[in-house]
A and B are shown apart, each in its own frame.
Chain A
Amino acid sequence: MSADVNTDLLEETKTSLELAQVWKVVVLNDPVNLMNYVVMVFRKIFGYGEQKAIKHMKEVHELGKSVLWSGEREEAESYVYQLQKWRLQAVLEKDD
């Protein structure tokens, strides 16, 4: 087996493992965004009810971050993209 094939195989395995892991969508606090703006965005993107969206907004505000969703990588990436589109600081983290 050539070195190239080994590298490809390793890369594929790594990608498969990453995709199979659970990923967290995390929103970080910023001093600019209005609380009702953040609540509206959470409701719009995740379909949360008002109380759940407020709970997450308060977590972001008081603790500096909140885990909004966890699951498969591809869907998590899509959520991060949408949050960034709304100018929120959102990142993806591995669920340990």
Chain B
Amino acid sequence: MIDFQLQIDSRILQAILPQLEKTFALACKRGGFSYSCPNPMDDDFVEAWELGLKQDFSQDRKALAKLFRNPKFKHGYIEVADEEVEEVLRCLTELRLTLREHSLGELSDKDLEKGDVENGLDNSSIRIAYFAYLVMAEIQEVLISKIS
């Protein structure tokens, strides 16, 4: 089991929890099919490719849902079973991609990569989405350091 405490203000965490929930629901609804199959002319191949990814993504989401539903999570405590770390890492990436697409569209790629977004955070919904984006990155950073 990997466990650690997030180093963030509890008020920020409370503010982003609804955003995480919303983004998770959105990612589940989207299905995650923005990835191109290398053989788009072969319908059977495309179907098998998408079905495979759909099943893999679903497994990943189950692992992240477990983390989010853990009562300790709302207090910033992260608990992930060793055998589910990869699934959680992948699904956090999916949620960050979803946030980027749906809630952080006003920020440029360049600013987002550099973390230079102060000017874009006047809008409170963008600010909360950005904090959620950072918190998920923080969870990924720590998980990666623990398994490396």
Q: What is the chain A residue whose CB lies nearest that of B109?
A: A31
- Knowing A32-B97, A80-B38 touch, does A85 contact B53 (C-beta < 8 A)? yes
Instruction: Identify which of B62-70, B74-82, B86-94 touches chain A.
Output: B86-94
Interface residue B148 (Cβ < 8 Å from any Cβ of A): yes
Contacting A89 at CB < 8 Å: which of B35, B90, B141?
A: B35
User: Total interface residues on A, using CB and 8 Å?
Assistant: 20
Note all chain A residues with C-beta closer than 8 A to B100: 31-32
Interface residue B56 (Cβ < 8 Å from any Cβ of A): yes
Inter-subunit contact B38/A37 (CB<8 Å): no
Note all chain B residues with C-beta closer than 8 A to A76: 38
8 residue pairs, one from A and one from B, having the closest CB atoms:
A92-B38, A31-B109, A84-B35, A87-B93, A31-B113, A31-B112, A85-B56, A32-B96
Complex Cα spacing A35 to B89, Å? 13
- Contact residues of A between 46 and 96, Cβ < 8 Å to B: 76-77, 80-81, 84-87, 89-92
Interface residue B8 (Cβ < 8 Å from any Cβ of A): no
Secondary structure type dominating chain A contacts = mixed
- Knowing A31-B113, A36-B141 touch, does A84 contact B53 (C-beta < 8 A)? yes
Complex Cα spacing A37 to B110, Å? 19
Interface residue A40 (Cβ < 8 Å from any Cβ of B): yes
Inter-subunit contact A40/B93 (CB<8 Å): no
Inter-subunit contact A30/B97 (CB<8 Å): yes
Interface residue A1 (Cβ < 8 Å from any Cβ of B): no
Complex Cα spacing A13 to B109, Å? 44
Contacting A81 at CB < 8 Å: which of B52, B94, B113, B141?
A: B52
Inter-subunit contact A91/B38 (CB<8 Å): yes
Note all chain A residues with C-beta closer than 8 A to B113: 31
Complex Cα spacing A32 to B105, Å? 12
Complex Cα spacing A80 to B49, Å? 11
Inter-subunit contact B36/A86 (CB<8 Å): no
Interface residue A33 (Cβ < 8 Å from any Cβ of B): yes
Inter-subunit contact B38/A85 (CB<8 Å): no
- Knowing A37-B89, A81-B49, A92-B38 touch, does A87 contact B97 (C-beta < 8 A)? yes
